[in-house]
Amino acid sequence: MKVSLNIEADAINVLALNMGRIAVDIDGIELAELIDVVNQNGYSLHVADEPGKLAIEDPLPPVTRLNGIQCSTAHISEADNNLLFALSHQHEDFGDSEWISYTGSGYLIYLDAWQYPVLQLKKRGLSKACSWR
């Protein structure tokens, strides 16, 4: 799960914990405002009573989530757009359209299809600039 916030604070300290968890110490903002913003975006954030307790809960069950990249056509070159469009519209069994989906305004690239999906896209001709995004 990703939680992205743009906040202005006096100081932010982040401590990496085990199992992908982090502890964040933020000086200069109101904790109640931060909790309200996160809760308005569909998550449940509360102050942990004890260390190690889960403080953010995702309302969606794990089976409804897909591991992927969303790529907007506004942020890639025309050549990369043409390549991804062609790959996403293949009509053969076991083609690239199974892991690259055109959404109308961009592409969804499923990361679980290959061990190194960006390398697979590079082999198919994706530019270096696009693969870094």
Cβ–Cβ under 8 Å, residues 117 and 68: no
User: Given this model, what pLDDT does residue 48 score?
Assistant: 64
Q: Report residue 75 as tokens.
A: 């942020």
Report pTM: 0.51
User: Given this model, what pLDDT does residue 66 score?
Assistant: 73
CB atoms within 10 A of CB 90: 13
Q: How does pLDDT run along the chain (133 residues), one tens digit per residue? A: 566 666 677 777 787 777 666 777 777 777 777 777 777 877 766 666 666 555 556 666 767 777 888 888 888 899 999 999 998 888 777 778 888 889 888 898 888 888 888 888 899 998 888 877 5
**Could you give the C-alpha distances from 107 to 82, 92, 100, 104, 122, in angstroms and in order?**
11, 19, 7, 8, 16
Q: Report residue 41 as tokens.
A: 């975006």
